[in-house]
Each structure stands twice: as C-alpha cells, then as structure tokens.
Amino acid sequence: MPIVSLTNVSKAYPSRNPGDGEIVAVDDVTLEIEKGDVFGIIGYSGAGKSTLVRLINALEPATSGSILVDGVDITSLKESELRRIRGGIGMIFQQFNLFSSRSVKANIAYPLTLAGWTKADIEARVTELLSFVGLSDKAKAYPEQLSGGQKQRVGIARALATGPAILLADEATSALDPQTTHEVLDLLKRVNQEQGVTIVVITHEMDVIQTIATKVAVMERGRVIEQGDVFDVFSAPQNPASQRFVGTVVKGIPSPAELAVLRERHQGRIVTFSFRDGDSSQAQVFLDLASAGLDFELVFGGINDIRGRAFGHLTLAIRGEDAAIDSALAAIGDRVEVTEIAGEEAR
Ligand code: ADP
C-alpha cells in the first residue's frame, strides 16, 4: 500500500491581482509514493512543488481530489485529526527554520516537549539524535555558531525527533554549497536506509534527484508531466517538456545553441545515439556505420551515472550517401535510440 497517494488533486488560489481569476497551483495531480521511497519532485520555480508539499502535510486543504496518507483520506479530516497526521510527517526547509534564541539541544527537544514527552525521555532521545546526525559536541551551541550544513543537520534531527514515517524536504540543500549538499544528502540517505523513513525531496536541482531519489515526478505549471523510476525518466524522458528539462542537466545532450555550433563546424548529418545499460554496445554502432561505408566523427557526448547504472548520449556527424545513412540508422535504431537533428532545427 502506498504511504502517500494523490488522486486528481488540484489546488487553486485566488489571484494576487484582483479580477484576474484564480491561479491553479496544482492541477489534477495523481501520484503514489511507496513506503521506503526517496521520491523526488523536480521542476522550475513556480511549478507547484511547494504547494503540493503543503497539501501532503495537510497545511492547506486541496480544492479537489483525494489525498491518502498511510491509507487515511486527509481531505475529509477535522483539524484535531489533521494534527495527528502532521505529527507523522517531519519537515526540513531551505532556510532551516531553527529557533535562533534556543540551543541546538532545545531546538531538537522542541517537538518532543510539544508532544508531552518526559524530561528523561527527551534527554535520551536528543542525545541519540545528536549522535545520529554527528553533532554530539554541539548540543549547547546556538544556531548562529553553526555552519549551514550543521544547521540543516539540526533541522533533520528536529524533524525526526518524534519518529515520523515521512520526511518532507523542501529545497533542503538549495542554500548549501556543493560539498555540504552532498554531506546532507548522505545523511538523508541514512535516514531512509537505517530508519526506514520515506523521504519526499522537493528540488529544482537535478543533482539532488540523481544522488538520492529512487522515483521522480517532473512538474510544470501545476501538472506532473512525467513520473517514474529515476533512471528511466532521466535516461529516456518521454514528455517533450521533461526532455527539455532533463536535457539541461543530463550530460551529453547538446543544447540548441551547442547544436548550432556543431552544425556550423561539421559537415554531414548530425545524429545523437542514446545508450542505456543493457543496450547493444557502442562498438556495434560504430561497426555498423563503418561497414555501411560511412565516414563519421564523434562531435559531442557524455555519460551519466545513476546509482551505478549508466546511460549516455553520443552525437556524431555522419557523411556519405543519404540512402546509405538512412538504412544504417534504421538498422541501428532497432537497438538504440537514434535522434537525428534536422538541419533547420540546428540552425
Ligand atoms: P514551486 O514550489 O514549484 O516554486 P509554488 O507551489 O510555490 O511553486 O507555486 C505555484 C504557483 O502557485 C505559483 O504561480 C505561485 O505564485 C502560486 N501560489 C503559491 N502559493 C500561493 C498563494 N498562497 N496565493 C496565491 N498564489 C500562490
């Protein structure tokens, strides 16, 4: 059974400019998050990601559709019951949202105090959490004395304090440098693997999805335009909009500007071959082209790795008789994905 299940969920806000009607921030979204997933939601700013998160943790009501959390339809719950649902969901934020006037220890203890834990239990739990996030020596420090990465570790410890089944991370590494981002992502991986917490990662950074997510949903203008296994979505995006999105972050796909340069510098037809692990070998593609008597040159390429599985794109300029190129590409196209960039498109 999925731990979060959204069916035809929409959320509309009245426009901030009176008379402009409404803004549909989340538009007919259907998705399922399985227990134990690290589920990434990626999209540009304004795509509706944060709104979706506020719907999942019941901070705002949906306009329509159903939202099941752990099998319970939260769209029909009373406020008192919603509080219990929220208690099972931890949250971390881009700006950490720590209490600056409280020590690290008091920040982590806060949700436990709210939940009515005894002093002794709080003490033991905070000690355990500090050790888990690697900040045992910072219990008495104040947030301003910590680095960004340390602040986010405190945020994670606080979010985990009451033992939630779900952790929502809203742009949780967007304020951090790349090195610190990776340390925080490693910690989130441990939260998922060692504590079995399902994690929903909201981000505009592909790198974050690539590093920790197992599943991904791509959002654009309130809609989920594509979702699935991270490897599948990034190695072979189906939707034109997600192809554009993936193309900006995946290595080896030439941008329109890069294509224009390739077109100018190289004679022949510009063709991209996309390889996924398990596809026939790259050598076979080159052999097929050579044995068809074609001349070719590797002009662009890149290889990507997603949790040990590789995929990549190689772009060749191919020269020879058009008919010979056509039949070679048709034969190769049975085994690997072949995309030819028409001359006009590349200009
Ligand atoms: P993201 O997190 O992907 O950047 P958001 O969910 O914040 O996107 O926003 C999606 C759209 O909904 C945007 O057009 C935004 O301006 C609008 N929006 C979000 N919250 C509100 C609100 N409280 N009132 C009106 N419009 C909102």
Ordered by where they begin, the domains of the chain are 4-88+164-246 (3.40.50.300), 256-340 (3.30.70.260)
User: Could you tell me the end-to-end alpha-carbon distance of the chain, in angstroms, rounded to an integer?
Assistant: 50
Higher pLDDT, residue 170 or 243: 170
54 CB near ligand 1 (under 6 Å): no
Distance from C-alpha of 188 to C-alpha of 40, rounded to nearest angstrom: 13
**At 343, is the pLDDT very low, low, confident or very high (cuts 50, 70, 90)?**
low
The model's pLDDT over 79-132, given as tens digits with 9 standing for 90+, comes to: 888 888 888 899 999 999 999 999 999 999 999 999 999 999 999 999 999 999
The model's pLDDT over 16-50, given as tens digits with 9 standing for 90+, comes to: 877 778 999 999 999 999 999 999 999 888 999 99
The model's pLDDT over 124-166, given as tens digits with 9 standing for 90+, comes to: 999 999 999 999 999 999 999 999 999 999 999 999 999 999 9
Q: How far is the CA of 25 from the centre of ligand 1 (A)?
A: 6
Contact 328, 292 (CB under 8 A): yes
209: its two tokens: 């999805």
Q: How far is the CA of 245 from the centre of ligand 1 (A)?
A: 20
pTM (predicted TM-score): 0.86
| Mean pLDDT value across residues 47-65 | 94
pLDDT at 311 over 80: yes
Question: For atom 26 of ligand 1, which residue has the closest CA?
Answer: 13
Looking at residue 99, its amino acid is F
pLDDT at 347 over 50: no
144: its two tokens: 């301003």
SS (H, E, C) 121-172: HHHHHHHHHHHHCCCHHHCCCCHHHCCHHHHHHHHHHHHHCCCCCEEEEECC
Q: How far is the CA of 21 from the centre of ligand 1 (A)?
A: 15
Classify residue 90 as left (phi > 0), alpha (psi -120 to 50) or beta: beta
Question: For atom 13 of ligand 1, which residue has the closest CA?
Answer: 46
The model's pLDDT over 259-306, given as tens digits with 9 standing for 90+, comes to: 999 999 999 999 999 998 866 678 889 999 999 999 999 999 999 888
